[in-house]
Amino acid sequence: MISARIISILIGYAFGTFVSGFLFGKAHDVDLRQEGSKNIGTTNTLRVLGKKAGAITLVGDALKAVLAVVVVWLIFRNTQPEHIELLKLYAAFGAILGHDFPVFLKFKGGKGIACSFGMIVALFPQFLPVEFALFGIAVGITKYVSLGSILCACGLLVQTIIFGMNGMLKFAESDLIEAYIIIAIISILAIFLHRSNIKRLVSGTENKLSFKSQRG
């Protein structure tokens, strides 16, 4: 089982290193690491290159986690059926790590929110109503995407614990605590990677959402 965990996380990491925003920007002669907030995630892609680029990046980054989960399911569904949900979670976790710390970009990637969204779609679709509500209300009222993302990271952990304690997740009972730990790491990592945004939110200097491309 240890080897299955390692394989799953490595598969996920491999998918995660295909950073959609960076690749889309390069295809249009733009290095997002030098533009806007200098982040290669969905929000900065939207801010620098516009709505179409932002949408493509969102879908591409979310799809990485979904594809990693599918591949791990195909590999281990027959040999590790009792632990398959945990292995799928490891795959999604690997994709998030690959996105956040891609080896090809000197481990400087995005913040993992779109990739985490893909994980939720693939593994926890019952979480989506609350996640959409948290993000939509926060961004709708404040125009701060970072605030919505941070709240979603917190909501992910809280929902996982609540659903898990009530027997509403598919994990084997023996895998549940491990799943809590992985989700906690994902949530804490997302908040940690938003630490500069948190400072700007506190100081009132955080950038607000805009659908107008900085490059026209």
Q: What is the DSSP string of 33-45?
A: GGSTTS--SHHHH
Sign, Cα dihedral of 130, 148, 121, 70: negative
The burial of 172, by beta-carbon neighbours within 10 Å (0-12 exposed, 13-18 middle, 19 or more buried), is given as middle
Determine the 3-state secondary structure of 24 from DSSP: helix
Alpha carbon distance 133, 129 (integer Å): 6
Distances (CA, A) of 49 to 27, 34, 44, 204: 12, 13, 8, 25
Tell which wins on pLDDT, 210 or 82: 82
Could you tell me what percent of the chain has a pLDDT over 70?
97
pLDDT at 215 over 60: no
Contacts of 12 (CB under 8 A, 6+ apart): 65, 68, 72, 90, 91, 92, 93, 94, 95, 96, 97, 98
pLDDT for res 183: 98
The predicted model scores a pTM of 0.93
Cα 198 to chain centroid distance, Å, stands at 18
pLDDT band at 216 (very low <50, low <70, confident <90, very high): very low
Question: Taking a C-beta distance cutoff of 8 angstroms, is the pair 201, 160 a contact?
Answer: no
> Could you report the per-residue pLDDT of 112-156, keeping only the tens digit for each?
999 999 999 999 999 999 999 999 999 999 999 999 999 999 999
> Could you report the per-residue pLDDT of 96-113, keeping only the tens digit for each?
999 999 999 999 899 999
pLDDT for res 52: 86
